[in-house]
Amino acid sequence: MSKGLTPVIATVLLMTISVAATGSAYIFLTDLQSEAQESARDRLSEQEREAQSSINMRTVYRGADGYTVFNLQNTGSVSLAIEEDGSRLLDVYVDGQQVDWDYVGSGSSTVRLNPSQSKVINSTETFPGNGNAQQLLATGPDGTEDAHTCYNSGTNIC
């Protein structure tokens, strides 16, 4: 009698193992697909945000303290954080060197630039002398950047 039960038990065990393996594979592949879809959505969202983001240096001039100052305007269609949790997300370079810039006027209360909004930025670098030039570069969040060559032709605006 035990000779007839052994093949039945073996068949039931093989079927149970097959069902468990199939279930495990289904759960694994479902999780993998969900993660791939979420990652693709995140990348697409980031690309869309970069496409809608833009900054522009408007009106570069000599500030009252003799430093190079410029109006930074958000020319994109989404808000840009230029400071978050005390960390600056905007970098300013003068002649290829990163500088420790500062806000002009109202202090650091504005940490976001909404579309069309601008903020006056002090590069903390001396305005170029007459006949000299300065290369300015501002890089912000979401891949935004703008460059400006400031040539002093004898005026306080370049």
Q: Quick one: pLDDT band at residue 72, thresholds 50, 70, 90?
A: very high
Task: Indicate if the pLDDT at residue 87 is higher than 90.
Answer: no
pLDDT at 3: 66
Q: For 103-119, how does the pLDDT look when each residue is reduced to its tens digit (9 = 90+)?
A: 887 555 558 889 999 99
Beta bridge partners of 90: none
Mean pLDDT computed over 15-43: 85
Task: Indicate if the pLDDT at residue 64 is higher than 70.
Answer: yes
As a 3-state breakdown, the chain gives helix, strand, coil percent values, each rounded to 5, of 35, 35, 30
Q: For 120-131, how does the pLDDT look when each residue is reduced to its tens digit (9 = 90+)?
A: 999 999 999 999
Beta carbons of 136 and 150 less than 8 angstroms apart: yes
The token duo for 139 is: 């890089």
Q: Model-level pTM?
A: 0.67
Give the integer Cα–Cα distance in Å for 123 and 68.
6
Q: Quick one: pLDDT band at residue 153, thresholds 50, 70, 90?
A: very high
Task: Indicate if the pLDDT at residue 54 is higher than 60.
Answer: yes
Burial class for 11, CB neighbours closer than 10 Å (0-12, 13-18, 19+): exposed
Q: For 19-31, how does the pLDDT look when each residue is reduced to its tens digit (9 = 90+)?
A: 899 989 899 988 8
Q: What is the DSSP string of 27-38?
A: HHHHHHHHHHHH
- Per the prediction, the chain carries an average pLDDT of 86
Q: What is the DSSP string of 69-85?
A: EEEEEE-SSS-EESEET
Task: Indicate if the pLDDT at residue 65 is higher than 80.
Answer: yes
